[in-house]
Amino acid sequence: MSEKMGNFEVQPGKKTAFFTDSTTCIGCKACEVACKEWNGLEADGYNFSGFSYDNTVGLGASTWRHVKFVEDTPIPGLGGNSPDHNSWEFSSDVCKHCEVAGCLEACPTGALVRTEFGGVFLQPDICNGCAYCVISCPFGVVQKNEEDGRAFKCTFCTDRQKVGLEPACAKACPTQSIQFGVLETMEEKAADRLAVLQDRGMADAQIYNPTHTSVKGIHALFLIRGEPETYNLPPNPEVPTIYLRDGWKSAARDGFLLLAGVAAAFMAARSGRKDGIHV
Amino acid sequence: MSETQMLIEQLVDQREEHLLEIRREAELTGQVKSPGVRPEGSPFPIASPQTGYYQQPLLKEPQWTQLIPFYFFVGGAAGSLGVIGSLADVLGDEKRLAEQARWLAFGGSVLSGALLVTDLGRSSRFLNMLRVFKPQSTMSMGSWILSGFSVFASISSAADAMDALWGANLLSHLLRGMGRFGSVIFGMPFHNYTGVLLATTAMPVWNARANSLPGHFGMSGLQSGVSILELMGHEDNRALNLLGVLSASMETWEKIDISKSNARALLPLKHGGSGVLVSTGAWLSGPVPLLFRIGSVFLPERSVALRRLAACAGIVGSLFTRYGWVQAGKSSARDWRLALEIEAPKEVAMPTTAKRSTGRVIAKAAGAICVLATAFFVLRRKF
């Protein structure tokens, strides 16, 4: 068997990334299905959410790709994807594989690691299910599977990348809405696509990549129309490690207060006893 | 034509007329709003900069079991007792109290470990916590702090056991010194690191108080540690009352500080189920024991009863505080506006129940009457 099975170069040490273009997404959910197929994830059941055609609702322990159906108030007689009316959009969500990842920083067992492709990988054979990563992700991606006991999230198809294959979701996408490749190339592609769309008068198009916060950028770029809030993307996601300094400072202050308090109280009580005070 | 037939024709006419009305409305306005045309559940939920993604929360709720807030209580008390047990005999000449505190600290550390391991999704892999040392992960630091404290608390108790079995000897003396030193060094972070654990997460209500939550949890731990010792027969110990006054004062200060803040992220501490837990906890660990402890100084003949009351309030208050804060984190994750930084309408940003409402006034009055009645009852009776 040949070393390389895929049709493009994946070099270890070179960061790879997704570029998800919501303007070419048709909401077919092929990525959701492909992800579940390749990774052997369980089905989500037959729940009806009532939120447009989105019955998946969010990413979770068994849902690593999620197609959002962004439906705003319909404007009768108009609608469609006219540049003036933001009425219906689709966007495939995924783990952001942050440059500085909250889950990775928080993991106490070393189960979460940074791969040679720059992605964040959760090793299921190490995870002991402490669930601290779940509350440390500013994007609400990681979730503990209560039945299994461990936490799960998108693997970035590290197994496929290792043999030169693109992730299952990108491969299954019929409209190239999900593209995959070297991070810099994807950033260029995103910028080019944005320029094309803005040229066509789509003034509300923008690239979501929070490089301005402690997350320092993501490895899953999104081209969206309108505000990120509409897509459940936080405008200013922060890695929780930024609170470490304040937290430990408070702990140190309180620790010394305990030490000084206990020492002072027992010494004062002893000298009081000697002086005959018995309160 | 029979009467029935006429009635049917009338009905048909009415219906036809209604259809024409709908058609006219559709032609004129482009959409039909008359009742019966709108489906059940309308208006439909939407995704927009004001409503987020169908008002679905972005953040995942904490998935800890109810054992974790109880661990916060046990760990907080055990860490404080470790420090008290290591210093009370050398600095205060309180041999019996110190030894009891050391045994409690040892038991607490064992219980803490058991609670944490049970909460893990894969309990058999608990040792994986000790395969890395990661300062940027508070959970990792906590594992090491707990392990360190357990080791030194065990050493202290081993020395005590040796004394009891074979009398004081050089080895037990040496072990006690080691245990004493380690219990103080690890007891300080062990009694409050759980506050850091919550503060360094993405839950808005927790990280919003990063610079005071560890202190808050630490003082809550000291309060419960002192209270447990008092209920074990040390309700006449002056040093413990001083420590009780210290922690109750700090908890009162924290309560005032939280109620002064109007930050929206802190709403779960004041509103809803978590709000009830947190504020009850704040009253029972702050003002109530403070009142009883100060009272016990001025009423020597009722001192013991008042100290017992303060101790009970402190323990219950600490438990409420831990459960309340964890619950508040869950509510905070469910608040879809916070993570998306969407400004809330006035009635959501500051619900009336958070400020003043009849229910709240009644609850507060009832609480105050309960406290006063208990105090009155205690002061009237001889114990």
Asked if the model's pLDDT at residue A39 lies above 90, the reply is: yes
- Mean pLDDT (whole number) for B143-159: 97
Asked if the model's pLDDT at residue B246 lies above 70, the reply is: yes
Q: B202 and A238: CB-CB below 8 Å? A: yes
**Are A82 and A174 within one domain?**
yes
Question: Which residues of chain A lie closer than 8 angstroms to B126, CB-CB?
Answer: 128
pLDDT band at B53 (very low <50, low <70, confident <90, very high): very high
Domain-located, residue A10: no
Q: What's the pLDDT at A67?
A: 97
Alpha-carbon torsion (B324, B329, B331, B335), positive or negative: positive
Domain-located, residue A112: yes
Asked if the model's pLDDT at residue A3 lies above 70, the reply is: no
Residue B211: which of A228, A250, A272 has the nearest Cβ? A250
**Are A63 and A145 within one domain?**
yes
The percentage of residues in chain A with a pLDDT greater than 70, rounded to a whole number, is 90
Q: How far is B243 from chain A (nearest CA, A)?
A: 7
Q: What's the pLDDT at B355?
A: 55
The percentage of residues in chain B with a pLDDT greater than 70, rounded to a whole number, is 94
Domain-located, residue A279: no
Q: How far is CA A111 from the centre of its chain?
A: 17
Comparing A65-74, B5-14, B27-36, B250-259, which segment has the lowest mean pLDDT?
A: B27-36
Partner B contacted by A249 (CB < 8 A): yes
Q: Which residue has the higher pLDDT, B21 or A258?
A: A258
CA nearest to B137 within chain A: A106
Q: Which residue has the higher pLDDT, A126 or B38?
A: A126
Question: CB-hemisphere CA count at 13 Å for A161?
Answer: 25
pLDDT band at A77 (very low <50, low <70, confident <90, very high): very low
Asked if the model's pLDDT at residue A78 lies above 50, the reply is: no
Q: Which residues of B187-226 are buried (b: 16+ CB within 10 A; e: fewer)?
A: bbbbbbbbbbbbbbbbbbbbbbbbebbbbbbbbbbbbbbb
Tokens of A156: 């970035």
CATH number of the structural domain spanning residue A213: 3.30.70.20
- Mean pLDDT (whole number) for B303-327: 96
**Are A219 and A124 within one domain?**
yes
**Residue B281 to residue B262: CA distance in whole angstroms:** 20
Domain-located, residue A9: no
Asked if the model's pLDDT at residue A277 lies above 70, the reply is: no
Q: What is the dihedral of CA A193, A199, A200, A206, to 10 degrees?
A: 50
Q: What's the pLDDT at B354?
A: 53
Mean pLDDT for all residues in chain B: 92
Residue B340: which of A50, A73, A229 has the nearest Cβ? A229
Taking Cα atoms as reference points, which of B226, B223, B187, B197 lies closest to residue B82?
B187
The CA radius of gyration of chain B, in Å to the nearest whole number, is 29
Q: Tell me the per-residue pLDDT of B9-26, one tens digit each, with 9 for 90 and over.
A: 988 898 899 889 889 988
Q: B48 and A111: CB-CB below 8 Å? A: no
Domain-located, residue A158: yes
Q: A250 and B49: CB-CB below 8 Å? A: no
Residue B243: which of A137, A141, A265 has the nearest Cβ? A265
Q: A266 and B87: CB-CB below 8 Å? A: yes
- A222 has which bridge partners? A20, A208
Query: Tell me, what's the ipTM?
Result: 0.93
Q: Quote the pTM value.
A: 0.90
**Residues sharing a CB contact under 8 Å with residue A192, sequence separation 6 or more, in sequence order:** none
Asked if the model's pLDDT at residue B228 lies above 50, the reply is: yes
Q: What's the pLDDT at B35?
A: 65
Q: What's the pLDDT at B160?
A: 96
**Strand duo A16-21 + A220-225: pairing:** parallel
Q: What's the pLDDT at B376?
A: 76
Mean pLDDT for all residues in chain A: 91
Q: B125 and A105: CB-CB below 8 Å? A: no
Question: Which residues of chain A lie closer than 8 angstroms to B63, CB-CB?
Answer: 131, 134, 143-144, 146
Partner B contacted by A151 (CB < 8 A): yes
Residue B242: which of A58, A258, A265 has the nearest Cβ? A265
Asked if the model's pLDDT at residue B322 lies above 70, the reply is: yes
pLDDT band at B29 (very low <50, low <70, confident <90, very high): confident
**Residue B137 to residue B141: CA distance in whole angstroms:** 6
Q: A135 and B297: CB-CB below 8 Å? A: no
Q: What's the pLDDT at B67?
A: 97
**Are A110 and A73 within one domain?**
yes
So what CATH class is B62-191? mainly alpha
Q: Tell me the per-residue pLDDT of B31-45, one tens digit each, with 9 for 90 and over.
A: 777 666 666 666 778
**Residue A131 to residue B123: CA distance in whole angstroms:** 12
Q: How far is A138 from chain B (nearest CA, A)?
A: 6
**Are A159 and A36 within one domain?**
yes
**Residue A279 to residue B299: CA distance in whole angstroms:** 10
pLDDT band at A79 (very low <50, low <70, confident <90, very high): very low
- Mean pLDDT (whole number) for B99-108: 98
Q: Which residue has the higher pLDDT, B374 or A89?
A: A89
**Are A118 and A184 within one domain?**
yes
**Are A74 and A195 within one domain?**
yes
Tokens of B215: 């202190």
**Are A28 and A97 within one domain?**
yes
Q: How far is A123 from chain B (nearest CA, A)?
A: 12
Asked if the model's pLDDT at residue A7 lies above 70, the reply is: no
**Residue A26 to residue B373: CA distance in whole angstroms:** 68
**Are A71 and A150 within one domain?**
yes
Question: Which residues of chain A lie closer than 8 angstroms to B57, CB-CB?
Answer: 140
pLDDT band at B375 (very low <50, low <70, confident <90, very high): confident
User: Range of A266's domain?
Assistant: 243-274
**Are A254 and A183 within one domain?**
no
**Are A127 and A222 within one domain?**
yes
Partner B contacted by A153 (CB < 8 A): no
Alpha-carbon torsion (A36, A40, A46, A50), positive or negative: negative
Domain-located, residue A39: yes
pLDDT band at B238 (very low <50, low <70, confident <90, very high): very high
- A19 has which bridge partners? A179, A221
How many independent structural domains does chain A possess?
Answer: 2
For chain B, give the secondary structure using H, E and C.
CCHHHHHHHHHHHHHHHHHHHHHHHHHHHCCCCCCCCCCCCCCCCCEECCCEECCCCCCCCCCCCCHHHHHHHHHHHHHHHHHHHHHHHHHHCCHHHHHHHHHHHHHHHHHHHHHHHHHCCCHHHHHHHHHCCCCCCHHHHHHHHHHHHHHHHHHHHHHHHHHHHHCCCHHHHHHHHHHHHHHHHHHHHHCCHHHHHHHCCCCHHHHCCCCCHHHHHHHHHHHHHHHHHHHHHHCCCHHHHHHHHHHHHHHHHHHHHHHHCCCHHHHHHCCHHHHHHHHHHHHHHCHHHHHHHHHHHHCHHHHHHHHHHHHHHHHHHHHHHHHHHHHHHHHHHHCHHHHHCCCCCHHHHCCHHHHCCHHHHHHHHHHHHHHHHHHHHHHHCCC
**Are A234 and A259 within one domain?**
no
